[in-house]
Structure 1
Amino acid sequence: MTRTTAIRAADFTASVGVNASINYTDGKYVNIQNVLSDLNYIGVSLIRTAAYWVGMQGQAAYNLAASKGIRFDMLLYTNNTLANSIAQMSSFSAAHPGALVAIEGPNEINNFGASYKGMTGAAAAVAFQNDLYAGIRADKVLKATTVYSYTMNAGASSTTGYDYAAIHPYGRKGLPPLSYLKGDMASIPGNKPFAVTETGYSTLTTNIDGVDPLVQAKYDLDMIFDAKKAGASTVFLYELLDAYADPNGTDPGKHYGLFDYGNAPKPIATALHNLMQILGDSAASAGSFTTGVLDYTIFGADKTASNYLMQKSSGVFDLVVWNEQTIWNATTKTEVAAVPDKETIRFARVQETVKVYDPLAGTDPIKVWHNVSQITVTVTDHPLVVEVTKIASQTNAINASRGMATIHATAKGSVIVGGPGDQLYAGAGADTFVFHKGFGHEDVFDFDALSAKHDTVQFDSSLFADYAAVTAAMHQVGSDVVITHDAAQSVVLHDVSLSALSAADFLLL
């Protein structure tokens, strides 16, 4: 078994951001109320936008967004007057404590250039970055603010002047994102920690790098978890809105949005909304509790499969599993069917409940198991969330399905999961005997069907849909009750009278 320490689910959700240029007033970002509504819908409170300064376009939007709990990564270019920019951001941060969480150096100098103190290109970007870092650390308000570098893999490289290297791993030609992430990570010098401050896919399918909206959703979700698994401090999708019209359908840059030009949510917006709901943790301790460990092993996974473990303050674990595949043909402009990957997740202990969620399908579980130590899920081309609730610590859970032939309940309220050929013994009362599909032939002794602390038999609902089905399968054979599902699956309750049993003695889950 692999013992894995979880990260806080609240830390994960807080680290997912989106590019939202609320400094612009000539496109859809001009409507800040709409922007805030869209951010609220997707469950994201972290945005990347241009650095604040008094008198700028969108100044009121910044102040309103901050008052609504939006957090900022503010981006600078080398044409910004550095001392004034730092002073302006310091003023903003003082007015909105906690809103300015990161300041980022020059953006993509290969595309936008750099000019500073008589230098150009890489030298200008590096010098500007070093001065930016020194200025922030010298400012009494900003001194603890995280600093991101200029964009790596864009013509400049250094190890000074920042806390996290900023990278922009965009997938191309319909290919999945992981290889592009690894390529950009390779450009980071000195094993510095990193942040993904732009990433995404355009939905202009006529462009060589475009994909359709469903593939965008799947690839964007893959990228979020690829990056977090690789150690990214934050991941900013590009971008919130298709902010400008593209009547001729020729500009891929106008189609990266999570919402289209009419503000309808694309599948990625819906999927992100669902993901944030599934992983949501609103408890007061959500961002401060000490996470636990989960012992599990995954069998049968493809080499392209991966997993990532989180935990909520309630103690529930969220294990995300995904299998990244190429699902777009850039030549034919069509989706490629994913190859299903059956993954068996085996836990070291019996778990009370295991639920599987698909963020593309909604916020309700698509599959639920009770009192199991192993499940099998079919993973295709996007992340699934496996939610694991441990059995209460005071409950004695025994997994008898792995070759343990004779099992005794050692404490009141034990949960015993049966397997082929076992002999199971009740103990001090209120024990639960669990039989999943394929359980074989089982013998249960000392079963109490009458007292207030009576024992319980639990069957999968796929075996018996209701108590009437159980009744039809039960027969008195001498002093025993035999419950027969089929020729390969039966349970014998020894020294139990059929008349003593009732619906209260059975759970069908």
Structure 2
Amino acid sequence: MKYLVFLFVFTSFSFLFCPKSQSQNAEIKQVQAVGASEFLNSIGVCSSITGRGETLQGTIDALEYTGIRFIRCGLEDDISTADMIELHRKTGAKIVYGLLSGGTDIDRLIREARELTEAGALLAIEGNNEPNNWGVAYQGEKGGENHSWLPVARLQRDLYKSVKSDPVLKNIPVWNISESGAQTDNAGLQFLIIPENAGTLMPVGTQYADFANCHNYITHPSWSGLHDNQTWLSAAPGPECPVDGLHGNYGKTWGKGFDGYSEKELQDLPRVTTETGIAAKGEITEEIQARLFLNLYLSQFKRGWSYTSVYLLRTRSNEPAHESYAFYKMDYSPKQAAHYLHNLTTILEDNGTISKPGKLRFSIKNRSETVHDLLLQKSNGKFFLVLWGEWFTGGTDKITVQLDRIFSSVKIYDPTHGESPVMRLSEAREITFFLSNHPLIIELQ
């Protein structure tokens, strides 16, 4: 049998397509797709919206361009509910609203959260931000930092009760405090609900949250620099995570080693990330940062994080040095990360929902531990197979995607090259290409 071969070469990779190849299909397996809109909804960012030098129009423009679908902010940002509702009305983006750094005003948070909910703008309510760095004073007691964490625990317990007893807010999810792993005493904040025989200072049955909350930045003082599988390992739920991740906050706390959930329980623990990212400096150029951010959102979602908020949309006027973390510079000019995210969300854009995503049979041959995949399906029925590489020490992988049948139309996208297909195929069944340190997307129809 004769084979028709197409060869397409880029500056960073090449494709080899075999439309009607009869290669071995022994490894082909059926994979369940996830709705594309579900992945897109997981993409968030930290922003003060109109506080600390940010402007409402600048924030709206940034979200419309990048496709970011939620903003994490809180009382410390001192944003009017009218501005948050207008942001939602213009962009569709939702708000995660929290007590955040040192905040204790539950009444105000509940009152403003009601307004956001009634406007359809609220995604979730969050507890304190990093009480190890920003202590609280609650009911006359200091908590967090190097003090007892019982005041932090009581505050979070009371926040949860207030939300769930409110007729407007009762169905809104509550996200836990961040950095529960830093507890100085065993207040039980490493649990969503304190179980029997936990040995905590707060009583069994105390409920803090519906979702665990971490700040698993993709670099750490003990794991600095660039690494292969940088975002994949940072998203790991178990002890193999080399950064400040789920296990160190909810498995065995990194501060005092208090026991939390088992490794098995962590796999399915509802979880979110309200801060992650990496600064562009040294060997982390803005180009590398942009590629890492794409991989980060994908790795987080694939590994079970329902929502991921990258720090930071645009740096604040009181923190100019943090511009190295941001998608946008102080003057709202986009960095490479904003351009690449725009391309990714444009390629995958889907404002509809699919109630029962389908399944696809395929295999990925010759994959190494740095190759990852996510199968998405849009509401129009099209499958999008996203593959990303995590080589950041100079390697590449030559992999082959084998499909179980011939597809009449296949498009290949590379978000580091734009939002349009870099290759179109007809009657395709097998695709071989090199994968390095960013995603490629295969559209199948």
TM-score range, shorter chain: 0.7 to 0.9
Is 1:127 paired with 2:193? no
Is 1:159 paired with 2:192? yes
Alpha-carbon distance in structure 1 between the residues aligned to 2:401 and 2:281: 38
Residue 87 of structure 1 and its aligned partner are, at CA, apart by 2.5
Q: Radius of gyration: which is bigger?
A: 1
User: What is the aligned-residue identity percentage?
Assistant: 29
Residue 119 of structure 1 and its aligned partner are, at CA, apart by 5.0
Alpha-carbon distance in structure 2 between the residues aligned to 1:359 and 1:352: 23
1:140-190 C-alpha deviation (Å, 9 max, x unpaired): 101000111101454142223111111111122223233333330213343
**Corresponding residue to 1:225 among 274, 298, 301:** 298
Are the aligned partners of 1:318 and 1:385 in contact in 2 as well (CA < 8 Å)?
Answer: yes
User: Match of 2:233?
Assistant: 179
Q: Which amino acid aligns with 1:218?
A: R
**Corresponding residue to 1:73 among 96, 100, 106:** 96
Distance 1:134 1:245, change over 3 A: closer
Alpha-carbon distance in structure 1 between the residues aligned to 2:315 and 2:79: 19
Alpha-carbon distance in structure 1 between the residues aligned to 2:417 and 2:180: 36
**Corresponding residue to 2:72 among 33, 36, 48:** 48
User: Match of 1:385?
Assistant: 441
After superposition, residues 47-446 of structure 1 pair within 5 angstroms as 47-51=71-75, 56-68=78-90, 69-77=92-100, 78-94=102-118, 96=119, 98-117=120-139, 118=141, 120-121=143-144, 122-152=149-179, 154-156=181-183, 157-160=190-193, 161-172=208-219, 173-175=224-226, 176-182=230-236, 183=241, 184-187=245-248, 188=250, 189-190=260-261, 191=266, 192-205=269-282, 211-244=284-317, 251=321, 253-282=322-351, 286-327=352-393, 338-389=394-445
Are the aligned partners of 1:9 and 1:279 in contact in 2 as well (CA < 8 Å)?
Answer: yes
1:345-378 C-alpha deviation (Å, 9 max, x unpaired): 0111111122221111101112222212211121
Alpha-carbon distance in structure 1 between the residues aligned to 2:359 and 2:246: 28
State the SS of the aligned residue for 1:325.
coil
State the SS of the aligned residue for 1:112.
coil
Are the aligned partners of 1:17 and 1:236 in contact in 2 as well (CA < 8 Å)?
Answer: yes
Alpha-carbon distance in structure 2 between the residues aligned to 1:324 and 1:108: 29
Are the aligned partners of 1:324 and 1:382 in contact in 2 as well (CA < 8 Å)?
Answer: yes
Q: Which amino acid aligns with 2:373?
A: N
Residue 85 of structure 1 and its aligned partner are, at CA, apart by 2.2
Aligned residues: 361
Are the aligned partners of 2:174 and 2:211 in contact in 1 as well (CA < 8 Å)?
Answer: yes
Are the aligned partners of 2:174 and 2:210 in contact in 1 as well (CA < 8 Å)?
Answer: yes
Distance 1:303 1:73, change over 3 A: same
State the SS of the aligned residue for 1:306.
strand
Are the aligned partners of 1:170 and 1:200 in contact in 2 as well (CA < 8 Å)?
Answer: yes
Residue 51 of structure 1 and its aligned partner are, at CA, apart by 4.0
Residue 318 of structure 1 and its aligned partner are, at CA, apart by 0.8
Distance 1:39 1:112, change over 3 A: same
Alpha-carbon distance in structure 2 between the residues aligned to 1:281 and 1:320: 15
Residue 32 of structure 1 and its aligned partner are, at CA, apart by 0.7
Alpha-carbon distance in structure 1 between the residues aligned to 2:168 and 2:318: 40
Residue 3 of structure 1 and its aligned partner are, at CA, apart by 0.8
State the SS of the aligned residue for 1:143.
coil
Are the aligned partners of 1:242 and 1:259 in contact in 2 as well (CA < 8 Å)?
Answer: yes
Are the aligned partners of 1:108 and 1:154 in contact in 2 as well (CA < 8 Å)?
Answer: no
Are the aligned partners of 1:165 and 1:194 in contact in 2 as well (CA < 8 Å)?
Answer: yes
State the SS of the aligned residue for 2:108.
helix
Distance 1:211 1:104, change over 3 A: same
Residue 386 of structure 1 and its aligned partner are, at CA, apart by 1.3
State the SS of the aligned residue for 1:255.
helix
Residue 281 of structure 1 and its aligned partner are, at CA, apart by 1.8
Alpha-carbon distance in structure 2 between the residues aligned to 1:52 and 1:83: 15
Distance 1:51 1:66, change over 3 A: farther
Instruction: Please identify which structure carries the higher strand content.
Output: 1
Q: 5+ unaligned residues in a row in structure 2: which ranges? A: 1-27, 184-189, 194-207, 251-259
Q: Which amino acid aligns with 2:427?
A: N
Alpha-carbon distance in structure 1 between the residues aligned to 2:103 and 2:426: 60
Q: Which amino acid aligns with 1:287?
A: T
Q: Comparing 259-268 with 270-279, which one deviates more in the overlay? A: 259-268
Alpha-carbon distance in structure 1 between the residues aligned to 2:296 and 2:152: 27
Residue 325 of structure 1 and its aligned partner are, at CA, apart by 2.3
Q: Which amino acid aligns with 1:216?
A: Q
Distance 1:240 1:70, change over 3 A: same
Alpha-carbon distance in structure 1 between the residues aligned to 2:349 and 2:362: 23
Q: Which amino acid aligns with 2:234?
A: Y
State the SS of the aligned residue for 2:297.
helix
1:312-366 C-alpha deviation (Å, 9 max, x unpaired): 1222111111121235xxxxxxxxxx32211100111111122221111101112
Are the aligned partners of 2:135 and 2:142 in contact in 1 as well (CA < 8 Å)?
Answer: no
Q: Which amino acid aligns with 1:74?
A: Y
Is 1:15 paired with 2:42? yes
Alpha-carbon distance in structure 2 between the residues aligned to 1:245 and 1:382: 33
Q: 5+ unaligned residues in a row in structure 1: which ranges? A: 328-337, 390-509
Residue 133 of structure 1 and its aligned partner are, at CA, apart by 0.9
User: Match of 2:21?
Assistant: none
Are the aligned partners of 2:366 and 2:399 in contact in 1 as well (CA < 8 Å)?
Answer: yes
Residue 65 of structure 1 and its aligned partner are, at CA, apart by 1.4
Are the aligned partners of 2:110 and 2:162 in contact in 1 as well (CA < 8 Å)?
Answer: yes
Q: TM-score, normalised by structure 1?
A: 0.67
